[in-house]
Amino acid sequence: MVETASASSKLQTGAKSVYIETFGCQMNKSDSEHMLGMLDELGYSKTENKKDADLMILNTCAIRENAEDKVYSHLGTWRKIKLARPGTMIAVGGCVAQDHGEEMLRRAPYVDVVFGTHNLHRLPDLLLQAQKSERSVVETFQELPDDLPDTPVVRLNDISAWVSIIYGCDYNCTYCIVPYVRGREKSRTAQAVFDEVMELAQSGYKEVTLLGQNVTAYGHDLEPKLHLGNLLEQLGSIEAIKRLRFLTGHPRDLNVGIIDAVKNVPSACEYFHIPIQAGDDRTLRRMARGYTVDFYRRQVDAIRSRIPDAAITTDLIVGFPGETEAEFMNTVNLVEEICFDLANTAAFSPRQHTPAANWGEQLPDHEKNERLRFLNSVVGEASHKCNKRYLGQTAEILVEGRSERSANRMMGRTRTNKIVNFEADHLPDRGESLIGRLIDIKVVAANAWALRGTLDLVCPGNDLENPVSLSHPSADSLRSASGCCSPVSGAGMPVPVVIDRICRD
């Protein structure tokens, strides 16, 4: 645990509130939860109203073009709040802060603290320093500390939790700023990850998502070396955790051991997010991705030959500098061939510190946007085709809460990460008691982005009159026969195919 006692004893005490706005990926959202954890120890409570906050934090993302403009636009609005409420502090963290450092104060001198991605644990002391000196403080580290500090965390979700297992990225893709702002790969120890997941199990969590800029590279820098499959096997011994997921990987680091662990560990979900970025070999070479389209096909075949009903999603960039119409159509054709369950798509945007930003042959925005619209239509058709396979099947979902589209419906996700909405208005509590439960849903409709289902009341697992207890289990009840981080053979019962199950045992 990071030492914050000195800051806590000196920082002004009393009821305080903090407002955090987070841009970007799940890693940033996880970082924000750790900020809340450290600030909780200093007496800050989270507020949803920035106008009432004693401290406003902007956790930034640098992936997209115009990211900096978005940050400074927000800060301009926050400056007005600070002027209207003297004593309010503003802090900026994340990737833009890591990249810009001192430059942020030249554009926004009213910011009190600027901190980077590698010194998140220093936030309490930096706030203290700014408060005591009444001057702005800027601190960024070029690399993560040798010993990764464990920091407290306040989870923003009571059902599913994020756990970072590796930081940074060792690849140097020509379009990507992540290695510059997140540094080189550094894995947490398996014991540290195991202990955190065990604590989550004791707190009643059912689902954990393992995070990393390149999560499939986990463990290569540890001694002895591990891979993500080994970690999944170890975490699979925590019986109270019913679902394990991981995001986001690189195709070159996905190995058979990881795939087999997903197949054999009952809690490992049959879901792989493996970004290909482009479906053309020349474009992939110029992106410095380190693989060919045929290599990626073989990775997909390795997954589907072992886990036929696994969901596979990806990321795609259109309009890379010099991309021809034929090369773009190779990407379109690959989407149709592989039939991705979903694809996150984006038009190429030049980023500072990346080689591709300075190349000639930059495509005009209207051409990139036209290609993006066409690709999105093809992705939607492929996703719809995948989702229609679920029609008439019964799927296990973890209920997360109310549907965003309708207050009369509840929503949850399958093991393959499909969103399922279902009617719950006819239930006595309109479905509120289902939140956090694993239930069986019969799928009756499908579109490109979600499924719709009906509650299968005949399934024993859906005993609504005798709901399962959501109280926290004891530590002794959480662990299976294999002890903490003990070797797991890798052999085991195959995971049942979710959509073929009618009722759980």
| DSSP class per residue in 35-46 | HHHHHHTTTEEE
CATH for 394-463 is: 2.40.50.140
- Considering the chain, what is the average pLDDT of its residues? 87
Looking up tokens 């926004």 gives: 108
Q: Please name the CATH architecture into which domain 5-139 falls.
A: 3-Layer(aba) Sandwich (3.40)
> How many Cα neighbours within 13 Å face the side chain of 417?
22
Least confident segment among 65-69, 76-80, 92-96: 65-69
> How many Cα neighbours within 13 Å face the side chain of 502?
1
Per-residue pLDDT, 180: 84
Per-residue pLDDT, 424: 87
Residue 87 — left, alpha, or beta (φ > 0 → left; ψ -120 to 50 → alpha)?
Answer: left
Q: What's the CA gap between 210 and 111, in Å, rounded?
A: 33
Q: What's the CA gap between 357 and 253, in Å, rounded?
A: 26
Q: What's the CA gap between 138 and 141, in Å, rounded?
A: 10
Greatest mean pLDDT among 92-96, 124-128, 134-138, 303-307 lies in 303-307
Per-residue pLDDT, 14: 59
109 CB-near residues (< 8 Å, 6+ apart): 136
> Pairing state of beta strands 160-167 and 137-139?
unpaired
- 175-192 average pLDDT score: 91
Residue 247, SS3?
A: strand
- How do residues 418-463 score in pLDDT, each as one tens digit? 999 999 888 878 889 999 999 999 999 999 999 999 986 656 556 5
Residue 116, SS3?
A: coil
Residues found in the chain: 505
pLDDT beyond 90 at 173: yes
Q: What global pTM score does this model have?
A: 0.84
> Pairing state of beta strands 207-212 and 137-139?
unpaired
Residue 208, SS3?
A: strand
pLDDT beyond 60 at 280: yes
Residue 173, SS3?
A: coil
pLDDT beyond 50 at 476: no
CB of 420 closer than 8 Å to CB of 452: yes
pLDDT beyond 90 at 465: no
Q: What's the CA gap between 362 and 407, in Å, rounded?
A: 45
The radius of gyration of the chain's CA atoms, rounded to the nearest angstrom, is 23
pLDDT beyond 70 at 202: yes
| Residue 290 CA: distances (Å) to CA of 137, 143, 379 | 40, 24, 24
Which residues share a beta bridge with 91?
57, 113
Q: What's the CA gap between 163 and 161, in Å, rounded?
A: 7
- How do residues 212-268 score in pLDDT, each as one tens digit? 999 999 999 999 999 999 999 999 999 999 999 999 999 999 999 999 999 999 999
Question: Per-residue confidence at 12, pLDDT binned at 50, 70, 90?
Answer: very low
- How do residues 34-44 score in pLDDT, each as one tens digit? 999 999 988 99
160-388: CATH class: alpha beta
pLDDT beyond 60 at 500: no
Per-residue pLDDT, 144: 80
Per-residue pLDDT, 364: 96
CB of 500 closer than 8 Å to CB of 390: no
* Other Cβ atoms within 10 Å of 246 Cβ, number: 25
The H-or-E segment that residue 228 falls in is helix 228-235
* Other Cβ atoms within 10 Å of 326 Cβ, number: 9
Per-residue pLDDT, 462: 67
Per-residue pLDDT, 177: 87
Per-residue pLDDT, 482: 35
Q: What is the DSSP secondary structure assignment for residue 22, as one 8-state letter?
A: E
| DSSP class per residue in 433-492 | GGTT-EEEEEEEEE-SS-EEEEE-TTSGGG-SSSPPP-SPPPGGGTB-SS-TT----S--
Q: What's the CA gap between 456 and 501, in Å, rounded?
A: 12
Share of the chain above pLDDT 70, in %: 87
- The tokens for 449 are 């982005």
Query: Quick one: which of 456, 416, 449, 450 has its CA closest to 434?
Result: 456
Tell me if domain 160-388 and domain 394-463 are identical in fold: no
pLDDT beyond 50 at 471: no
- The tokens for 6 are 């000195």
Q: Residue 78 phi/psi, 5° resolution? A: -65, -30
Per-residue pLDDT, 475: 46
- The tokens for 122 are 């220093």
Per-residue pLDDT, 472: 46
Q: Is the peptide bond before 248 cis (omega within 30 degrees of 0)?
A: yes
Per-residue pLDDT, 459: 61
Q: What's the CA gap between 290 and 162, in Å, rounded?
A: 29
Per-residue pLDDT, 485: 34
Sign of torsion over alpha carbons 384, 388, 389, 390? positive
The H-or-E segment that residue 326 falls in is helix 325-338
pLDDT beyond 50 at 348: yes
- The tokens for 471 are 């109280």
What is the domain partition of the chain in residue ranges? 5-139, 160-388, 394-463
Burial (CB < 10 A; 0-12, 13-18, 19+), residue 433, is middle
Question: Per-residue confidence at 341, pLDDT binned at 50, 70, 90?
Answer: very high
SS (H, E, C) 381-414: HHHHHHHHCCCCCEEEEEEEEECCCCCCEEEEEE
